[in-house]
Amino acid sequence: IRILDNKIASIQEAGTTVFNENSEKINAEGYWISPGFMDLRANFRDPGFETKEDIESGADAAAAGGFTKVAVLPELNPIAQNKSDISYLIEKGKKTAVDILPIAALSHNLEGKEISEMYDLKQAGAIAFSEGNNPVSSSGLLMRGLLYGKTFDALIMVSPEDKGISGKGQMNESLQSVILGMKGIPNLTEVLAIKRDLELLRYTESKIHFSHISSKEAVNLIAQAKKEGLKVTCDVAAHQLLYTDSELKDYNTNFKVKPPFRSEGDREALIDGILNGIIDVIISDHQPEDLEHKEVEFEYAAPGIASIQTVLHFIIEGLADKFNPDLVVQTLSVNPRKISGLEIAKIAENENAELVIWSNEKSWLYNSKSNKSKAVNNPLWNTEIKGKVLGTFHKNKWNQNN
């Protein structure tokens, strides 16, 4: 693949390309080359919480994970709910190796009472609307958002959770939660929320995207909704494909996530959902935290994994013998762009060069030297893992992953 002035100039059989002496040559033997990955859900904490992460460090970690585009959550300070907030994220992202795509607040101040200036925010560059890590508690708010957003094809992303049931739960409700003496979060909390939102979707005849689903029941409900012809899409966090609630036996706070890791049956259902095309997208659900919020008792620890650099590994190990590189391209490159209304990146002559070079066989050591994020809240810390990104090419620049 020969790239010239950010365009793919030619694609030829290996060994036949004629390079001039000024060409930079990249040896990608043994690697896959795909359109750059797009993360549909990450938190870069900037502005307001830069001690945990900022756009520069988040973008560096994203590029090291193979991403060229990242959609960032609105839970910032100030909240991403004005044109200036959206402009800040986009402009700051221009100086990095990735495109920063803002997700704007669905409601004013994320309070769940009044919908935000959705149309103006989309015009300013917001690709979607969300309440961030909180569910949309008000049925009326979501209904108004779906009806209003329908007029300009807005994408509304919801985290399915009934907080009246999940309450102060710490982990999946199961025998494991009983053994560990922790308050459980049943699958029912996700089921009820999805059922309500699907009814609102039927009523409004709009479209909706369910973020980070975690249960077998969720997969079944969304499968049925798609079969009915409803405009529904969904994603799953990459780490949900690998871990279950059994990991919490040692009270390791790096395994505390939201939604929680569930049973082996749920994990298998999520994998089947990806294989069957029910789950459209795999996300990082990158949630960087500082030591102050992780190295505490499990009950008080903040949920989340700083995961954007290790997404490939979670997918490779989670899918195991069901791994297929085509699934990676579909769920990390094609579908995120399709759902958010962006042009799908292609590897073809005369197309813009937005590429990632990666391997599902090669390994690397994930430690303080290779980590690009400010955060270390990841259960893979200080281990050798499979799923290596050689680098990305984006914005007319080769970003070598060292």
Q: What is the mean pLDDT of residues 145-173?
A: 97
Place 402 in a pLDDT band, splitting at 50, 70 and 90.
confident
For 294, how many CA atoms within 13 A lie in the half-sphere containing its CB? 21
Mean pLDDT (the chain, rounded)? 97
Is the pLDDT at 18 greater than 80, yes or no? no
Is the pLDDT at 120 greater than 80, yes or no? yes
pLDDT value, residue 55: 98
Q: What is the mean pLDDT of residues 332-336?
A: 98
pLDDT value, residue 367: 98
Is the pLDDT at 204 greater than 90, yes or no? yes
pLDDT value, residue 14: 79
Q: What is the mean pLDDT of residues 160-171?
A: 96
Residue 401 CA to residue 65 CA, distance in Å, equals 9
Q: What is the mean pLDDT of residues 161-187?
A: 96
- 147 Rama sector, left if φ>0, alpha if ψ -120 to 50, beta otherwise: alpha
Q: What is the mean pLDDT of residues 172-180?
A: 96
Q: What is the mean pLDDT of residues 221-232?
A: 98
Residue 240 CA to residue 290 CA, distance in Å, equals 22
pLDDT value, residue 364: 98
CB 392 within 8 Å of CB 68 = yes
pLDDT value, residue 23: 85
Q: In this structure, what token pair is assigned to residue 167?
A: 């309450």
Q: In this structure, what token pair is assigned to residue 391?
A: 């680098």
Residue 197 CA to residue 210 CA, distance in Å, equals 9
User: Mind listing the pLDDT tens digit for each residue in 178-201?
Assistant: 999 999 999 999 999 999 999 999
Q: What is the mean pLDDT of residues 65-88?
A: 98
Q: Where does residue 220 rank: exposed (0-12), middle (13-18), buried (19+ CB within 10 A)?
A: middle
Query: Does an H or E element contain 388, and which?
Result: strand 383-394
Residue 364 CA to residue 391 CA, distance in Å, equals 13
Is the pLDDT at 39 greater than 80, yes or no? yes
What positions carry a catalytic annotation?
285
Q: What is the mean pLDDT of residues 100-127?
A: 98
User: Mind listing the pLDDT tens digit for each residue in 249-268?
Assistant: 999 999 999 999 999 999 99
Q: What global pTM score does this model have?
A: 0.97
Q: What is the mean pLDDT of residues 47-62?
A: 98
Residue 74 CA to residue 104 CA, distance in Å, equals 5
Place 19 in a pLDDT band, splitting at 50, 70 and 90.
confident
